[in-house]
Amino acid sequence: MDPKLYRAVIKGYVAYEGLGKLRLKICSSPKQFLHQKNSKGNTLLHIAARMGSSEICQVLINHMSGGKIEAGEKLIRVVNKNHYTALHDAVRNGHEEIVNLLIRRDPELALLTNNVGESPLFSAADKRHDRIAKPILNVAPDYSIEDQQDNEGNTALHLAVLRGRHGKIFKSMIEDVRVDKAIANSAGHTVIDILLMQEQNFIFKWWITTFVAIYEGLESLELAINRNGEEYARFRKLNFNQVQQIASTNLPVITIIATVSFAAGFTMPGGYVGDGPNAGICYSKRFSL
């Protein structure tokens, strides 16, 4: 990889005194050069996507494709050593314009996962980028990405709850009829289970439980209370007042169960701290900062 060009992309083409000169340099380079990687497996497209340089991303893709869509897609799908595509990098760094560019160019990018099974939608939920999640969800009808699970069995909806009170991504996913609200992760936890094990106030638990109930998550709520191995028929559709009554009646009971029974019977992904000042605190290598 040309060190000068590499630095120029990182610095936002300052080293080439503007986009025009950098564009000329890229377009005069052999196309195979664009597939060259640095020590971390990143191409120039990875770097440009991470830095938020949408113009450079466009130049790289256009030069690589040369009128051939397949050639451009081949560059877009290159992964680094952690199996990140350029889309993963753009999502994680909050670059909405680049996300839209890449998704429009190759919608199937939304299906690709990194080395721990994270899809771009999962990364959007992880980083709480609600505006970035929307264009990714928009390709879901054709590619069924909304229920993809990572290596720990979590979906993007699981993570939207695990990341706390970020309501926008949660709301958009819970309202989506294609999203399965009752999927359990590898530890056997549904979205409701994770919610009830978090230290959130009563009002927030009531709100989010009601929200899940309205959008056909009541079967998960029932299973959270009744862990006796019985199978329950899918709940019929209820109106809003009925759902509110169920949620307000059951939530105090659920909260007690969450603090007593769940602590003994459940293990959050990653486990618990065994001793020291943080004894009893759940941890997960996935969600540690």
Task: Take residue 255 and report the two structure tokens written for it.
Answer: 């909260």
The alpha carbon of residue 253 and the mean position of all alpha carbons in its chain are separated, in whole angstroms, by: 31
pLDDT winner (highest mean) among 19-28, 152-161, 260-269: 152-161
Average pLDDT over residues 268-283: 52
| Structure confidence at residue 225 (pLDDT) | 46
Q: Is the pLDDT of residue 146 over 60?
A: yes
- Is 60 exceeded by the pLDDT of residue 69? no
Q: At what angle do helices 218-225 and 240-265 cross, to 10 degrees?
A: 40
167, 163, 99: which is closest to 137 by C-alpha?
99
Token pair listed for 138: 């928009």
Section 70-75 average pLDDT: 70
Contact 179, 144 (CB under 8 A): no
Q: What's residue 178's pLDDT?
A: 77
Taking only the tens place, the pLDDT of each residue in 217-270 is 544 444 444 444 444 334 334 444 544 454 454 444 444 444 444 444 444 455
- Please report how the helices 96-105 and 54-65 are oriented relative to each other, as an axis angle in degrees rounded to 10: 20
pLDDT at residue 139 in the model = 75
Q: Which of the residue ranges 15-29, 51-65, 166-180, 225-239 would you say has the lowest mean pLDDT?
A: 225-239
State pLDDT tens for residues 165-212.
556 777 777 777 778 888 888 888 888 777 777 666 555 666 666 666
With tokens 């000169």, the residue in question is 21
Mean pLDDT, all residues of the chain = 71
Q: N- to C-terminal Cα distance for the chain?
A: 32
Q: Is the pTM of this model over 0.75?
A: no
Question: What is the percent of the chain where pLDDT is above 70?
Answer: 55
Read off the pLDDT of residues 96-130 as tens digits, 9 standing for 90 and up: 999 999 999 888 898 899 999 899 998 888 888 88
The pLDDT, as a whole number, for residue 9 is 67
